[in-house]
Amino acid sequence: MTSQSSLKLINKVRTLDPASKLLEQLYTRADNPDTPPDVRATIGRALELIDTREEYSREMTYADSPGARMICEKTYAMPWQQLYKEGKVGAEFSALWLSGTGEGQILQFLIRMQKAKRALEIGMFTGYVAMAMAEALPEDGAVVTCEFEPYLVEIARKWFDETPSGKRIDIRQGPALDSLDQLAAEGQTFDVVYLDADKPNYTAYFKKLLDLDLLAAGGTLMADNSLYYGYPYTQPGSTVDLFNKAVMEDSRVEQIVLPLFDGVSLIRRKGE
């Protein structure tokens, strides 16, 4: 049976896809009595197939690891609107900000395939991805995750400490660009990097990762939201479009943009 959180994630995918939103608009307009019944039925079936494909893909993907599942469930249980009203968080967060089932598994797959030992996350939120990566790493592996919001750092640290793999996670609180400078000053490098932070700084994050040698030769950067609400291909010159093009034009890397979720880019640094 599909869980409530899974249904929300399926709805999230449809919300992010501009083609699905157009179909929903047509479905509503098809209420007009002059519209042939088969037209409305066909549009409805198309929307149903979008959701069914998403649900099937999740069911055929191996399940979340225990710690990652725990963080997902706790995130959906958080009273985000109340926390914002009380001033504990600086934005109106939602559980739908989670990267979600599928992306955590892709990162675990990359870590195991590359035999990675060190992973970096830029944009932690509540720690779902950081935990998923930590659970895929060997015992001597380590995850560094960057997050600006103090309250999110506080709750994530508490949740991490409830798990065996949480000890592998180092949280850096503050502006992520500053954290990257500090990590470079410490001489740190990473085999796998996950980017899911503020979109206007995507290109700056990418350049720092390469210019400061934070992404190891042969390492993989996975960037979320590379098809952000459809803007990159409907509004040329938008922020994420410029990021995608900057990556494509950089001779130090190879890029694949996958039409999964809200767009997932796999970016490999050339070398080993």
Torsion of CA 92, 96, 99, 101, to 10 degrees: 160
Q: Number of folded domains in the chain? A: 2
Max mean pLDDT range (25-29, 58-62, 179-183): 179-183
| pLDDT reported for residue 137 | 98
Matching residue, tokens 């979008």: 50
Does 22 score more than 50 pLDDT? yes
Torsion of CA 210, 212, 216, 219, to 10 degrees: -30
Query: How many other CB atoms are there within 10 angstroms of residue 156's CB atom?
Result: 26
| pLDDT reported for residue 10 | 47
Residues 55 and 147 both lie in one domain: no
Single out the residue in 40, 59, 78 at which a domain terminates.
59
| pLDDT reported for residue 27 | 77
Residues 17 and 125 both lie in one domain: no
Residue 108 burial (10 A CB sphere; 0-12, 13-18, 19+): buried
Does 221 score more than 60 pLDDT? yes
pTM over 0.85: yes
CB 138 within 8 A of CB 131: no
CB 106 within 8 A of CB 264: yes
Domain span including residue 256: 66-269
Residue 263 burial (10 A CB sphere; 0-12, 13-18, 19+): buried
From residue 32, give the alpha-carbon distance in Å to each of 21, 22, 28, 39, 142.
18, 17, 8, 11, 58
Residues 74 and 51 both lie in one domain: no
Continuous segment of H or E residues that includes residue 83: helix 80-85
Task: Tell me the CATH number at 104.
Answer: 3.40.50.150
| pLDDT reported for residue 2 | 42
Residues 215 and 256 both lie in one domain: yes
Matching residue, tokens 């895929």: 136
Residues 100 and 38 both lie in one domain: no
Average pLDDT, the chain: 91
Residues 129 and 172 both lie in one domain: yes
